Chain A
Amino acid sequence: MLRASEARLRSAAEAFVIPVAALAAAMVLFGVFMALIGQNPLEVYRLIWRGGFSSGFAWQNTLSRAAPLILTALCVALPAQAGLMVIAGEGALVLGGLASAMVGYAMAGDAPLLVKLAMAVCGMLAGGLWVAFAGMLRQYRGVNETISSLLFTYIAIALFNHMVEGPLRDPASLNKPSTHPIGDASMLGRIPGLDVHWGLAFGVLFCIAMYVLVRHTTWGFALRIVGGNPRAAQLAGLPHSRLVVAACFLGGAAAGLAGMVEVAAVHGTANASLIAGYGYTGILVAFIARQNPIAIIPVAILLGGIASSGGMLQRRLDLPDATVQVLQGMAFLMILAGETMFGRFKIFQPRQAAA
């Protein structure tokens, strides 16, 4: 009993130390890159800290950005439990936002709580069905889910642009085509005391629920068997395909909820601002968190902070807005390269029963 918990502690430490070391290496690499283009790396780090984490205002900004990242990271992490690499988060977010904006407009004037609930449900359904379709194609047609989900993203954005600039456009939105606003009454408020919108709470709750589902239920156990060894799952008579599709649905529902949050808490309408790359950054969050739903929360906050410091880097150092993207790309590659370090350090391995 004692030995089992010690082994678990060691492997948890490994899952923490290696990604952190990889992130640190990426920061150093980024510093070298900054030095090469003639910037002072220490000043860049200082501004990232100041822009993301130094003040209450910075934290507000960081946490508001972390909310959609938590949810889009789940869109990667849940299918990953079943062994799928789905990256349809951006598309699911956009369609979830569109669906919830439509519902919010159609139900304007009803009881606000009812409207918000309907918006959340429809956003989750839209995102969930979209990603579940990629899972179905994989299970029933053998179509590689990574490629199909990326194609889905392009198709979702085309569909979104068509609807927002065509049939669903609010004629009053002149410069920036948008759907009809959902109205102030249907907007999500802020969490009392934190001054961050409720989307953050949705994300955290979703993560905890998914952690319990995946790690502490029979269903989650079956799902992880499917992900770890599909053949064993088949031999055990598990409903293989249904589990995969359900995991994709839940992931897509999380991303769809992110779209609903962006509409109902930030923009008040569906427009091109929804296509902000949260889906892609969510992939990075999920990989750093090693697909662990709880670990997603701090990682999303970290990356949300880095992303929100982008504006300060732009203003103070005159760096391009893609600076954060470069850092994220480096971090992603270092994290993936870090995968190879697992199992290499003796201290993280369970001790042999020699004594």
Chain B
Amino acid sequence: MSDIGLWGVPLAVLGGALRVSTPFLFVSLGETITERSGRINLGLEGILVMGAMSGYAVSYWTGNAWAGVLAAGVAGLALGLLHGLICNLPRVNDIAVGIGIMLFGTGLAFFLGKPFIQPKAPSLPSISFGDWSSLPQLQSALQVNPLFLIGIALAFFLAWAFRSTRWGLVVRMVGDNSDAARAMGYKLNVVRTLATAAGGFLSGIGGSFLSLYYPGSWSEGLSSGQGLMAVALVIFARWNPVNCFFAALLFGGAGSLGPALQSVGVTTGYYLFNAAPYLLTLGIMIATCSTRHALAGAPGELSINR
């Protein structure tokens, strides 16, 4: 291992941004779909953990990591559907249901996941983009997971779909002006439930990345609030899927600051550096929110903008 001294820190942050950002990316894309339809699902943290557990379990049973990814998506879809259906009932608050889904999803994942803490399940492969370099640090930083690439493609696809497909326009209309959507004969609850289920599907996949690639095993402390931060990240990205990608990179980089500093020997304040993404999220929200007007680009029906 060649010694590159303090240069290891930005390199590790870059590598971390590429490695850690995938769950942020998937969860924030899922939440973008949900919020664009006018609902907020705060339960994505629970869905993420449930996805991580079911992905790991199915990968262990079938020996195929991609089957695990699919199972994680289906588990997320089920929980998203549950959120959507409960919110369809009149006078039920979507934010409160989100907290409920968060507690229920985490509890269920811990309950069902107990037998899978020990065994080793097959992981997802990685694609190497750093073979041209002789620096092992750079090579390891440029190990990229296929899910990351799928996520980038998905971000651009969703941006296109929101702009130019019938489905995208319906979701946006339902989220921006429910009266107009109702007048045109669309069933608000159906559209919103489907959008929440789709968001759950993507968040579940985001969770499978945690257990099947990095850190790469199932444990109860696997998620550290990525699902929640992704909700804030969507606000930062102004409900734009392509912005979600850049925001996810930023958050991934912030999240790997602690481990990167630790690797060069800075160990004091380890916990504080690990809190960097939360502080970043909070700082961004303080800087961008306003009491006077809703945020630019915010769906009009979103309860968070009251």
A332→B100 contact, CB < 8 A? yes
Inter-subunit contact A162/B108 (CB<8 Å): no
Docked-complex contact B106 and A325, CB < 8 angstroms: yes
Contact between A329 and B228, CB atoms less than 8 A apart: no
Bound CA–CA A28/B42 (angstroms) = 26
* B150 proximal to A (CB < 8 A): no
Partner of B278, one of A154, A283, A324, A330: A154
> Across chains A and B, which 7 residue pairs bring their CB atoms closest together, nearest first?
A329-B104, A325-B107, A322-B110, A158-B275, A340-B89, A142-B291, A162-B271
Give the interface centre of B90, B101, B103, B286 by most chain A CB atoms within 10 Å.
Answer: B103
Asked if residues A328 and B107 are in contact (CB atoms below 8 Å), the reply is yes
A-chain residues with CB within 8 Å of residue B136 when the two chains form the complex: none
A150 touches B282 (CB 8 A): no
Contacts from A to B (Cβ < 8 Å) = 85, 87, 137, 139-144, 146-148, 150-152, 154-155, 158-159, 161-162, 165-166, 280, 283-284, 287, 320-326, 328-330, 332-333, 336-337, 339-340, 342
Q: Which of A150, A162, A340 is packed against the most chain B CB atoms within 10 Å?
A: A150
Contacts of B108 in A (CB 8 A): 322, 326, 329
- Chain A residues with CB under 8 Å of B274's CB are 158
Q: Do residues A155 and B278 form an inter-chain contact, with CB atoms below 8 A?
A: yes
Residues of chain B contacted by A321 (CB below 8 angstroms): 110
Q: Which residues of B75-130 have CB atoms within 8 Å of chain A's CB atoms?
A: 82, 86, 89-93, 95-97, 99-101, 103-108, 110-111, 114
Residues 118-160 of chain B, each 1 if its beta carbon lies under 8 Å from chain A, else 0: 0000000000000000000000000000000000000000000
Tell me if B111 and A323 are in contact (CB < 8 A). yes
Q: How far is the CB of A19 from chain B (nearest CB, A)?
A: 14
Residues of B within 8 A of A151 (CB): 225, 228-229, 232, 278, 281-282
B101, B107, B231 pick with most chain A CB within 10 angstroms: B107
Chain A residues lying within 8 Å of B110, measured Cβ to Cβ, are: 320-322, 325
Residues of B within 8 A of A342 (CB): 91
Q: Check if B290 is an interface residue, CB within 8 A of chain A.
A: yes
Instruction: List residues of B whose CB falls within 8 A of some A CB.
Output: 42, 82, 86, 89-93, 95-97, 99-101, 103-108, 110-111, 114, 224-225, 228-229, 231-232, 235, 268-272, 274-275, 278-279, 281-282, 285-286, 289-292, 304
List of B residues within 8 angstroms of A87 by Cβ: 99
CB pair A328 B103 closer than 8 Å: yes
Contact B275 A155 (CB under 8 A): yes
Chain B residues whose C-beta falls within 8 Å of the C-beta of A283 in the assembled complex: 99, 103
In the complex where A320-B114, A325-B107 touch, is A147 in contact with B99 (Cβ < 8 A)? no
Whether B304 and A340, one on each chain, are in contact in the complex, defined by CB atoms closer than 8 angstroms, is: no
Given contacts A147-B232, A332-B104, A333-B86, contact A320 B269 (CB under 8 A): no
- Contact sample, A vs B, 19 pairs, CB 8 Å cutoff: A143-B286, A146-B42, A147-B232, A147-B235, A150-B228, A151-B232, A151-B278, A154-B228, A155-B275, A159-B271, A159-B272, A320-B114, A322-B111, A326-B104, A329-B107, A332-B103, A333-B97, A333-B101, A337-B89
Chain A residues lying within 8 Å of B95, measured Cβ to Cβ, are: 85, 146
Closest CB of chain A to B167's CB: distance in Å?
28
Q: Which residues of the partner chain B approach A333 to less than 8 Å between Cβ atoms?
A: 82, 86, 97, 100-101, 104
A158 to B224, CA, bound (A): 11
**Shortest Cβ distance from A178 into chain B, in angstroms?**
15
Q: How far is the CA of A165 from the CA of B235 in the complex (A)?
A: 34
- Cβ-defined contact, B275 with A154, below 8 A: yes
Residues of chain B within 8 A (CB-CB) of A328 are: 103, 107
Q: How far is the CB of B27 from chain A (nearest CB, A)?
A: 14
Contacts A283-B99, A330-B104, A336-B100 given; does A142 touch B289 at CB 8 Å: yes
Chain A residues contacting B91 (CB-CB under 8 Å) are 339-340, 342
- Which residues from chain A contact B278 at a C-beta distance below 8 Å? 151, 154-155, 158
Q: Is the CB of B114 within 8 A of A322?
A: yes
> With the chains together, A323 CA to B104 CA distance in Å?
11
B228 and A147: CB pair below 8 A?
Answer: yes
Q: In the bound complex, how far is the Cα of B104 from the Cα of A324, in angstroms?
A: 10
Which B residues are in CB contact (< 8 Å) with A322?
A: 107-108, 110-111, 114
Partner of A147, one of B86, B96, B231, B270: B231
- Compute how far the CA of A124 lies from the CA of B282 in the bound complex, rounded to whole angstroms: 24
Q: Which residues of A have CB within 8 Å of B271?
A: 158-159, 161-162, 165-166
Closest to B290 in A: A142
User: What distance in Å separates the Cβ of A299 from its nearest Cβ neighbour in chain B?
Assistant: 16
Given contacts A154-B278, A336-B100, 5 further A-B contacts (CB under 8 A): A142-B289, A147-B42, A150-B225, A326-B108, A332-B103
A56 to B250, alpha carbons, bound, how many Å? 55
Asked if A329 and B105 make an inter-chain contact with CB atoms under 8 angstroms apart, the answer reads: yes
By beta carbon, the residue of chain A nearest B269 is A162
User: When chains A and B are docked, how far (Å) is the Cα of A137 from the Cα of B92?
Assistant: 25
Contact residues in B for A337 (Cβ distance below 8 Å): 86, 89, 92
Q: By the criterion CB–CB under 8 Å, are B100 and A144 in contact? A: no
